[in-house]
Amino acid sequence: MEILKLALEWAKFEVFSTRFFIFFSILFLTASIGFWQLGKTDLANAYVIPNLVAGLLFMTLGLGLFFTNKSRIT
């Protein structure tokens, strides 16, 4: 039963840590919108797509790990 307890604790910590991925993805998506709306220079406008892609990748990773490990806990 020791291995089951360790696996359950690992899954709970994994759910906790994926919340940070989701938080940072929201920050990246917000920064992308900010650069899109407020960016006056060419360099600021060049950051829109990379931030959007990074935000979507973080969101995919965070949500995928969150729901996978949430189902393992139950």
Residue 60 resides in a domain: yes
* Residue 54 belongs to some domain of the structure: yes
Residue 8 belongs to some domain of the structure: no
- The pLDDT assigned to 70 comes to 87
Q: How many domains does the chain have?
A: 1
pTM: 0.82
Predicted pLDDT at 44 = 87
Residue 57's domain spans which residues? 17-73
| 5 occurs within a structural domain | no
- Does residue 44 lie within any of the structural domains? yes
11 within a domain of the structure (yes/no): no
Q: Which residues contact 39 (CB under 8 A, 6 or more apart)?
A: 45, 47, 48
List, for residues 17-74, the tens digit of each pLDDT value.
Answer: 999 999 999 999 999 999 999 989 999 899 999 999 999 999 999 999 999 988 888 7
Asked whether residue 68 is domain-assigned, the answer is yes
Is the pLDDT at 1 greater than 90? The verdict is: no
**pLDDT at position 34, please?**
94
Residue 4 lies in a domain: no
